Amino acid sequence: MNAIQVGATAPDFTLSDGFGKEIKLSDYRGRQVLLSWHPLAWTSVCTDQMRALERNFDAFAEKNTVAIGLSVDPAPGKKAWATVLSIEKTPLVSDFWPLGKVSQDYGVYMVNHGMSGRANVLVDAEGIVKWVKVYPIGELPDIDEVLSAL
C-alpha cells in the first residue's frame, strides 16, 4: 500500500451507510474527519476498531472531529453489522462499488486481497490530510494514539 501523504488534499467522496444516508466528505468542512478503514466487517479486530470509535464519539466531538468507519463491504452488510454492534452514532460506510474506489484514492486498497487495509487518515477542517497511519491487518489501532493525533 502506498497511502496518501500528509499535506495532500483529501479526495472527496459520497458513500452510503446502508441506513439510507449518504456520507459526503466535503459536507464536513469546518470539522476534522477521521477516516478509519477496516478490512472486512464481522471480523474480531474490525469489530473492536469500530466499537472504539463509537465508545469515543464524545471525545471526537469535543475535538470537532467526526469518525467514519470504511470498508468494501456492501451497504446492507454494513447496516446489519452496525445494528448488531449497537453502533448508532458513528457512520459505517460502504466502499463497495466501484469496488474499493475510495480506498484506492487514499492508497489503502490491497489489490491482491480485494479489500482495504487497516488505516487511519485524519483530514483537517479545510480538507487537507493531517495524519496517516497504516497498521498490519491483525493489529487494532490504539485509540489513544488516534485521539492524540487530533
Residue with cell 497504516: 134
Alpha-carbon gap, residue 74 to 95, rounded angstroms: 7
Which residues in the chain land under pLDDT 70? none
Catalytic residues: 46
Q: Residues 63, 56: contact at Cβ < 8 Å?
A: no
Domains of the chain in start order, with CATH, are 14-149 (3.40.30.10)
Kind of pairing between the strands at 65-71 and 92-94: parallel
Helix (H, G, I), strand (E, B) or coil at 36: strand
Q: pTM (2 decimals)? A: 0.97
What is the per-residue pLDDT across 127-149, written as a single tens digit (0 to 9) for each? 999 999 999 999 999 999 999 99
Is residue 113 a contact partner of residue 125, using CB atoms and an 8 Å limit? Answer: no
